[in-house]
Structure 1
Amino acid sequence: MKKFAFLFVYLIPFLSFAQLKTDVLVIGGGASGVMAGIQAARLGVKVTIIEEEAWLGGMLTSAGVSAIDGNHHLPSGLWAEFKNTLVKHYGTATALQTGWVSQVMFEPQVGQQILSEMCSKESNLHVLLGTRYTQIISQNNNWLVSLAGNTQETIQSKILIDATELGDVAALLGVKYDLGMDAQSTYHERVAPQQANDIIQDLTYVAVLKDYHQVQKPVSPSADYRREDFICACEKLCPDKQMPRLWDCEKMKTYGKLQNDLYMINWPIHGNDYYANMVDMNAEQRKQAIIKAKEHTRNFVYFMQTELGWNTLGLADVFETKDSLPMIPYHRESLRIKGLARINMNHLEKPFTQAEPLYRTGIAVGDYPIDQHHGKNSKAPDLYFVPVPSFNIPLGSLIPEHVSNLIVAEKSISVSNLVNGASRLQPVVMEIGQAAGVLASLAVQNKISPEKVSIRKVQNTLVNQKAYLMPYIDVAPEHPYFRAIQKIGATGILKGEGKNNKWSNETWFYPDSTVLLKDFLEGLKPYYPKLKLPTFTESELSYPLSYPQLASIFIHISPKHQVNLPPTGTIQRGELAYLVDKVLNPFYQKIDHEGFLAQEKNQKNP
């Protein structure tokens, strides 16, 4: 359903009292907010992060979801840096593989410590914990934000990044947004429901349990506890042995096994998933919904302790909270802004054949299926791991329509409801945050609003940070042609091949293979539409591109910039990307937020 927030922006006279000042203000120190702050600070602008809780990391830490889903073979940018620091902390990559669901698992407090240390190393970054905003005001092309909590000041910022869990800043500032499931007719996504609805994904109040190796007193269940709510969470007590997705109980427990006898309980099947659409709730309604979600989780823990016989397990004291539960719930879905670009499931499945070449504007990558949790809402369709190839997220999804100097990160970017089921995962959100940091820094340095920043400059900066634009699984950042392949891949001159591979979906570039001459010429056409290329025979077009043919093409396109090429032989795709980037440099031809080149736009709208 479409929802619209009331605009809460006032123009006021110059404030005479002292203010904090920053170039970029990140509201929300979660998975995207931390990465946005670190990246912008590294690029030389002054950044402040405000976070309401006592920890940084959001869903990674404060919500307890310390098992990373996806992107295990796409080590992009700051996500890779975080992962590598975890490996260093625990000693080996194998030490992160404690549960069967993920290749990267860690204790929440360790993740928080690492993120805090990453932030502390940045002299341009200031972090204010235990701090929330109370008012946001537009004044003279700046934002004035009133703060409360540990810091009770007003802070002035040029660029604002909404990294909140539910998109609250965007809603407050009047950004148009959608909430709930899109109708099949909206984007013609093959698994979308026929009718739109206001259903969002279940949230989870995670529990982290510890095996104390001696009998523990069970947690206190709520007055409405019913064992029937949980008996089919796993196989042991479930009367319906034919129920789909009925797991062995021990496997349910080890799903989220962490280091040092800890177990992360984040179980969707008759477990601690809970339905509450908190996006449009007021503060009191949210508070009550969280109380109910916590009660549900405690009931599930009680069930495990008493019915499954796991009486040596008890709540671990890792979160610095009175009830030993995480500081925040795990929100899988929030509002979805109306952005300068919106990606839907068709862009994920067939990125190179869509009307809008959004893949050209990619700034973050993911490889997880469309995974939507709807077990607690009987009205929702079953969307269990809908396979798609690995994918990228367009820059325009971070930029709202009609509101300047605002960037939206975390899970509130402009995507369809179905795409949210894949873009919500931790590494993707971290990469979105990194891209938001790049965009914000370039906006500040060039004294322009984010929507006017060159897409290619954002992408080039990300590639220089060893971040992926295209999700090519077979070209790691250490590859000698990584930068060129990412850039030429983002032009579409050379395209990859997407595949579904269970939970880890893939796109392959094949850097060591050849390309047919006709396919290479087809890729060049959008960039050089008026160019009369050499005439090749029908037979030549159907064979791999050779060095002499490439030399002839280069002469026609760029006669002043030539390289010495071998006189014979076919060329491999990796080297071809490098040479095209070096000689022709098509990457820097300007594109818009839909991915169109100027000449394509002119042809479309003569």
Structure 2
Amino acid sequence: MTPIKADIAVVGGGLGGVAAALAALRRGRRVVLSEEYAWLGGQLTSQAVPPDEHVWVEQFGVTASYRALREGIRQYYREAYPLTDAARRDRHLNPGRGRVSRLCHEPRVALAVITKMLAPHLSSGRLTVLQPHVPVAAATVDGTVRSVTLRHKETGEETTVEAAFVLDATETGDLLPLTGTAYVTGAESRAETGEPSAPEHGDPANVQSIAWCFVFDHVEGEDHAIERPADYDRWRALAPGFWGDAMLSFTAPSPRTLEPETRTFNVNPPYATVGRDEAHGDDPGDLDLWVFRRIAARETFLPGSLESDIVLANWPQLDYLGGSVIDTPDREEHLRAAKAQSRAFVHWLQTEAPRPDGGAGWPGLRLRGDVVGTDDGFAQAPYIRESRRIRAMRTVVEQDVAVALRGHGRPATFPDSVGVGMYRIDLHPSTGGDNYIDVECAPFEIPLGALVPVATKNLLPAAKNIGTTHITNGAYRLHPVEWNIGESAGELAAFCLDRSLTPAEVCSKPELVSRFQAVLVEAGVEIHWPEIIGY
């Protein structure tokens, strides 16, 4: 079959991949974008997780195109949903009124907005989207990736894409081993990185847990309990030593104190003002599991529109600790087990979970596959927190961003910044048996050097696979940061093509860095945090 030719191949259609494709397309480049799952958007859509964002997101600290995505989601609700008058007038509409974010929403609404953003480029013919495709091979000569071979997940048919630049936006950095790009996995040792939170001994298989999320509502008086899973007793007995109870419970360690903490679960509670004003303060917002990641609140819509709130479950009890899905022959088994753990938790919620009235279980909890685009109510894809990471010209370490180590909370700056982000270093319990690692983090910048591999000349990371460590990945992995990484990678590829440069050449010359930063700023990428004094 004749190869598809493009200026830029973006492999992986998560948030970083979509942002990278849009950035390259607005520069007039021809792009091939591939994605493994049915929905583009990754953690926001196929993984079903509403955005984790910083406290200033409504004012600053994200790119213009990410802000357009957020506002597009709100506008979709205003145009298509029966909102109350108060909700329709709310400039900062939060359809789910969840506590994790100022914008908790259904994943398919984000998909609709992403589809709209890409539509004109599909019509122009400059964008080709291949779904559902996974990368299976690559041809690399003298450090230059000549082509990538993609396989259709259902038919097995293979397609080869030849491009001047290849961007790896897959969830686990799948192009890195295929292209011979140097990379790191898991936890580096303290001796290697100097990070106080790093373990004494490194372990490539020690990664943050994955979670297989699901969406549900509650119909009073009906029985929607799923059949008891055959392996239910296995999961019912699972109780890691640091957990404080069985994982099938409402108990989990507090990320901040590491002490076991019992959450509440109030089904369809009456309206209360939610949305954290102090998103990175002492209250992480997760003490009640129902409202934490609620994605559609009844009070947002006209009376009678929803029988029940709609809730996304992405809770500690779903964290799969059984093994890494990176560089292992057991990947598929771990994926099946992660989903099995979540299925067992659903059954426990429906049949055994302690209710406030003294009873057990909510059989009226109903899985909502229609909301996530599946038959069973579980997300199309697992929620991935950690990827392979390139060996980069600059690796961000804990000392760069941790407040305690820097002695202040002012922004962590880099002279070659290509974007900004903000989140605590938030590592979930890991496959190596670690409890949470939670470190207060300053607002940070994204150094260009973290996007440039030490050797491969025309491959760029465009997701969670940049030059971070196991520790700092915990802050650089969230939705708006991934989008910013992808957008800057797409811009960098176009910048290099326009000037016959390599990313390493741009990174190594301050005058080229400045010129590239000017291009980013013109495109609406914030490369520095504002200085705020007083009120």
415-424 vs 148-157, greater mean Cα deviation: 148-157
The reply to whether residue 87 of structure 1 matches residue 47 of structure 2 is no
1:140-539 correspondence runs (5 A): 143-149=146-152, 152-198=158-204, 199-226=206-233, 227-229=236-238, 244-250=260-266, 251-259=288-296, 261-268=309-316, 270-282=317-329, 285-308=330-353, 309-317=361-369, 318-349=371-402, 359-374=414-429, 377=431, 379-383=433-437, 385-453=438-506, 454-472=512-530, 508-510=531-533
1:58-77 correspondence runs (5 A): 58-70=42-54, 72-73=57-58, 74-77=61-64
446-455 vs 162-171, greater mean Cα deviation: 446-455
Q: Deviations over 1:251-301 (max 9, x none)?
A: 112211111531100101x3444443111024xx22221111111000001
C-alpha contact (below 8 Å) 2:8/2:31 kept by paired residues: yes
Structure 1 CA distance for aligned equivalents of residues 431 and 161 of structure 2? 41
Q: For CA contacts below 8 A with separation 6 or more, give which structure has more relative contact order.
A: 2
Structure 2 CA distance for aligned equivalents of residues 342 and 293 of structure 1? 30
Structure 1 CA distance for aligned equivalents of residues 136 and 318 of structure 2? 36
Distance of aligned partners of 1:132 and 1:233 in 2 relative to their CA distance in 1, 3 Å threshold:
closer
Q: Deviations over 1:226-263 (max 9, x none)?
A: 4454866698799xxx9533222221122111115311
Give the equivalent residue in structure 1 for 2:9. 25
C-alpha contact (below 8 Å) 2:452/2:503 kept by paired residues: yes
Give the equivalent residue in structure 2 for 1:39. 23
Say how many residue pairs are matched.
Answer: 451
Q: Secondary structure at the match of 2:312?
A: strand
C-alpha contact (below 8 Å) 1:235/1:249 kept by paired residues: no
Structure 2 CA distance for aligned equivalents of residues 381 and 217 of structure 1? 34
What letter matches 1:379 in structure 2?
A: G
C-alpha contact (below 8 Å) 2:251/2:261 kept by paired residues: no
Give the fraction of aligned pairs with identical amino acids, expressed as a percent: 27
Give the equivalent residue in structure 1 for 2:276. none
Q: Deviations over 1:162-190 (max 9, x none)?
A: 00111110121112222222222333223
Structure 1 CA distance for aligned equivalents of residues 229 and 221 of structure 2? 24
Q: Deviations over 1:128-176 (max 9, x none)?
A: 2212333212469662223332774322110000001111101211122
- Which is greater in Rg? 1
What letter matches 1:98 in structure 2?
A: R
Structure 2 CA distance for aligned equivalents of residues 266 and 105 of structure 1? 13
Give the equivalent residue in structure 1 for 2:356. none
Distance of aligned partners of 1:23 and 1:262 in 2 relative to their CA distance in 1, 3 Å threshold:
same
Structure 1 CA distance for aligned equivalents of residues 248 and 3 of structure 2? 55
Q: Secondary structure at the match of 1:68?
A: coil
Q: Secondary structure at the match of 1:24?
A: strand
The alpha-carbon deviation at position 339 of structure 1 amounts to 0.6
Q: Deviations over 1:95-132 (max 9, x none)?
A: 34521121111101111111111111223322222123
Distance of aligned partners of 1:234 and 1:253 in 2 relative to their CA distance in 1, 3 Å threshold:
farther
Q: Deviations over 1:20-49 (max 9, x none)?
A: 211000000011000000111001111110
Give the equivalent residue in structure 2 for 1:590. none
C-alpha contact (below 8 Å) 1:234/1:248 kept by paired residues: no
Q: Deviations over 1:69-99 (max 9, x none)?
A: 3362523222211111112122342334521
Distance of aligned partners of 1:307 and 1:142 in 2 relative to their CA distance in 1, 3 Å threshold:
closer
Distance of aligned partners of 1:277 and 1:330 in 2 relative to their CA distance in 1, 3 Å threshold:
same
What letter matches 2:112 in structure 1?
A: Q
Structure 2 CA distance for aligned equivalents of residues 235 and 291 of structure 1? 21
**Runs of 4+ more than 6 Å apart:** 233-238, 350-354
Q: Deviations over 1:161-220 (max 9, x none)?
A: 000111110121112222222222333223222332331101100011123444233123
The alpha-carbon deviation at position 362 of structure 1 amounts to 1.3
Give the equivalent residue in structure 2 for 1:109. 108
Q: Secondary structure at the match of 1:153?
A: strand
The alpha-carbon deviation at position 434 of structure 1 amounts to 0.5
C-alpha contact (below 8 Å) 1:334/1:411 kept by paired residues: yes
Structure 2 CA distance for aligned equivalents of residues 378 and 157 of structure 1? 38
Q: TM-score, normalised by structure 1?
A: 0.69
Q: Secondary structure at the match of 2:455?
A: coil
Structure 1: runs of 5+ lacking an equivalent: 1-16, 473-507, 514-606
Distance of aligned partners of 1:443 and 1:352 in 2 relative to their CA distance in 1, 3 Å threshold:
farther
Distance of aligned partners of 1:213 and 1:78 in 2 relative to their CA distance in 1, 3 Å threshold:
farther
